[in-house]
Amino acid sequence: MSEPRETFDADDLRELHRMMAVLRFLEERVKELRLAEEVRGSVHLALGQEAVAVGACAALAPIDTLTATYRGHGWAAAKGVPVVAILAELLGKEIGTNGGRGGSAYLSSADHLFLGENSIVGAGAPIALGPALASRYDGSGRVSLTVFGDGAINQGSVSEAFNFAAAFALPVVFVCENNGLSELTRIDEMVADDQLWRRAGGFGLPGVRIDGNDPVAVRTAVREAVERARAGGGPSLVEAMTERIAGHYIGDHELYRRPGEVEAALTREPLVRSRQRLRELGVSDADVDDVERGARDEVDAATATARDAELSQSSTVREHMYVDH
């Protein structure tokens, strides 16, 4: 793994910590709402994976676009989508990102250039070629970032996207969020070479594996890739190593876990790690508690607003299929 070459100070890390805490509390809230059946259907939590979304989005400019996966509530929030709009979407409210049409696994926000989550594994990678292609014609300097899981790398569409982007030097950043698992299956049993970043070389794009539980390391690697892409240097692959500390979906019995795996992951998850680092930078635990309290208040307030909001109107359910309807 490459070391972060970027310097950071306590204020910088405190802000990254705050954003990761927002994502953490958002997912915990989603879990509660799902268990209470206020939210229905599958929800896929990114608990433990907050540093990837926060670090990567911190390296993006507002003109840059993002495609993500069903495990994308945190990516949406990190891209700037208000937490209240995300929660309201899951609750089927009019003020939700998609007025309940998208739901937990397929939400998007045009206002934030969040092209959306995707519930078809690997589908976001080809789509992400498009904003990059468009930037060639519109001169915007836009970079397109796409995130997918380790398992998704075995989907043909992802390989097609690697080559297409590399062949035309498109400004795309591919982020592979490697949590070691695809639902109930371990990635190392599904590939002969589990150094997934090495696939990049075969397509002629730079690849790097980084510590995905360190938001600074993620930001550094993604920033480098974004700058290269913006300067015309083409696409890159960043493999961010992380761990999901929850089931694939709520109700997952997680029988595929090895003994002690989750316990070990809990000692190195992003919030624990960054609290430790803040301590080393002289930020007291009480200060960090304050930061986290602020994040929790934000999620609580968003929850209250989302709960109080109106359900989306059934009478409009047939609208928007075509431009003139």
Partner 1 sequence: MSITEHNEHRPVTAETADLSYVLAVNAALRRALDEVPEVILYGEDVAKGGGIFGATRGLASAFGDRVFDTPISESAILGSALGAAMLGRRPVVEIMWIDFALVALDQIVNQIANTAYVSRGRWRAPLVIRTQQGHLPGACAQHAQNLEAMFAHTPGLRVGLPYTTQDAYDMLLSAVHCDDPVLIIENRSLYFRERVPVAVNGPVQPIGAAAVRRAGSDATVVAWSAVLAEVLAAADELSGEGIEIEVIDLRWLNPLDEATVFASVRKTSRFAVVHEANLTGGFGGELVARVAERCLGDLDAAPRRVATPDLRIPAAPHLQQAVIPQVADITASLRQLVSE
Ligand X SMILES: Cc1ncc(C[n+]2csc(CCOP(=O)(O)OP(=O)(O)O)c2C)c(N)n1
Residues in touch with Mg ion (CB under 5 A): 149-150, 179, 181-182
Sign of the torsion formed by the C-alpha atoms of 246, 305, 112 and 58: negative
- Cβ proximity of 147 and 67 under 8 Å: yes
**Among 151, 212, 215, 247, interactor with ligand X by CB under 6 A:** 151
Q: Which of residues 73-92 bind partner 1 (CB under 8 A)?
A: 92
- Dist CA 262 CA 246 (whole Å): 8
Asked if 74 is part of the footprint of ligand X (rule: CB under 6 A), the reply reads no
**Among 97, 108, 135, 182, interactor with ligand X by CB under 6 A:** 182
Choose between 89 and 239: whose C-beta lies nearer to Mg ion.
239
**Shortest reach from residue 243's CB to ligand X, in Å:** 10
Choose between 101 and 136: whose C-beta lies nearer to partner 1.
101
Q: Any idea which residue has 């990516």 for tokens?
A: 75
CA 137 to chain centre: 28
Asked if 181 is part of the footprint of ligand X (rule: CB under 6 A), the reply reads yes
Q: Any idea which residue has 């690997």 for tokens?
A: 122
Choose between 30 and 229: whose C-beta lies nearer to partner 1.
30
- Dist CA 263 CA 267 (whole Å): 7
Asked if 231 is part of the footprint of partner 1 (rule: CB under 8 A), the reply reads no
- Dist CA 60 CA 69 (whole Å): 18
**DSSP strands (E only) in 132-227:** 144-149, 172-178, 181-182, 185-186, 207-211
Binding site for partner 1 (CB under 8 A): 39-42, 70, 92, 100-106, 118-123, 151-152, 154-157, 182-185, 189-191, 255-256, 311-312, 314, 317-318, 321
Binding site for ligand X (CB under 6 A): 69, 71, 119-121, 148-152, 179, 181-183
